[in-house]
Copies of this chain bind each other. A is one copy, B any other.
Amino acid sequence: MERFELIVQTLFESNNLTEKQEQILKAAVQLFSEKGYAATSTSEIAKQAQVAEGTIFRHYRTKKELLLAIVGPFMEKIADSYIVNDLTDLLNKDYQRPEDLLSAIIENRRDIIVQFLPLLKIIFQELPFHPELREHFLQLISDNMYHRVVEVINDYQQKGMLKKLPPTAIAKFAITNILGHLFTRYVLFPHLEWDDVRDTEQLIQLIMNGIGNSDSKVES
C-alpha cells in the first residue's frame, strides 16, 4: 500500500498533483500491476482511489491515457535518468577490476527492481500489446545503455582484463545473467530464502569465468 505511494511520489514529485490525482495514480498502479491493464475497470480504480469515476476522466481523457501517464514518466524519467545515468556513473567510476563493476551494477539494479517492481510488472505486461511503447523502450535501451556498455568493455579488454571476444557478446552474456538472476530472485521465486551476498558473489564468479581473461584469473 505504501509502496505505491512512494512510486507515485517519486515519479511525479515535480508536477504538483492534487490529492485526488495522487490517489488515482496510486490506485491505478496498484490495480494494473495486480490484475493487468485490460482486466482493471475505471470504476474499480475510482472506488479504490475513493474518487468519483468522472474525476479520472477529467484528468485523463481515456483509460489508455491513464496507462501512458504512468508508464511514460517512468520510462522517460526513471529509465532515462535514474537507470541510465546511475549506470553511466558506475561505468565512469573506473573500477579497477571488472568484477567490482559487475558487483556495483548488480546492487544498483537490485535497488531499482525492488523499489519499482509494480511499475516494471505493468510495463512488461503491456509492452507486447503497445508497439509504440515497445519501440520507445527498446530504443531507450539500445541507444543509451548498450553503446556505453560496449565502450567500457573495450576499455577493460585493452587493459587485458577481459577476453578478446566481441564486446556485444560479452555485454549480452553479462546482461542476461544479471537480469536473469534478479528476475528469478524477485519475480519468479521471491518467497524462497536467498543468501543474497553468497549468491551475488557466486554469480560474479561464474560470469567472470566466462568473460574474464584467464591470465589474471583468481583461483576458485
Residues of chain A touching chain B, judged by Cβ–Cβ distance below 8 Å, are: 35-36, 38-39, 121, 125, 128-129, 138, 163, 165-166, 169, 172-173, 176-177, 179-181, 184, 188, 202-203, 206-207, 209-211, 214, 220
User: CA A176 – CA B185 in complex, angstroms?
Assistant: 12
Q: Chain B residues near A202 (CB, 8 Å)?
A: 165-166, 169
* B residues less than 8 Å from A177 (CB atoms): 173, 176-177, 180
Q: Which residues of chain B come closer than 8 Å to A172, judged between CB atoms?
A: 181, 184
Q: B129, A36: Cβ atoms under 8 Å?
A: yes
A210 is contacted by which of B166, B181, B210 (Cβ under 8 Å)? B210
Question: Do B35 and A206 have beta carbons less than 8 Å apart?
Answer: no
State the Cβ distance, A41 to closest chain B Cβ, in Å: 11
> Please, which residue of chain B has its CB at the minimum distance from the CB of A212?
B209
Residue of B nearest to A202 (CB): B169
A188 to chain B: which residues have CB within 8 Å? 138
Contact of B206 with A173 in the complex, beta carbons under 8 Å: yes
What is the CA–CA distance of A169 and B202 in the complex, to the nearest angstrom?
8
List B contacts of A128 (CB < 8 A): 36, 121, 125
Query: What separation, in Å, do the CA atoms of A177 and B203 have in the docked complex?
Result: 12
By a CB distance below 8 angstroms, the chain B residues around A210 are 206-207, 209-210
6 other A-B residue contacts (CB within 8 Å) besides A36-B36, A165-B220: A125-B128, A173-B177, A176-B180, A176-B181, A177-B180, A210-B210
**Inside 8 A of A207's CB, which chain B residues have their CB?**
210
* Minimum Cβ distance to chain B for residue A47 (Å): 19
Quick check: B39 and A129 within 8 Å, CB to CB? yes
* Residue ID in chain B nearest A173 by CB atoms: B206
Taking CB atoms, residues of chain B closer than 8 Å to A38 are 36, 38-39
A-B contact pairs, 11 of them (CB 8 A): A35-B129, A36-B36, A39-B129, A121-B128, A125-B125, A165-B206, A173-B206, A176-B176, A176-B177, A206-B211, A209-B209
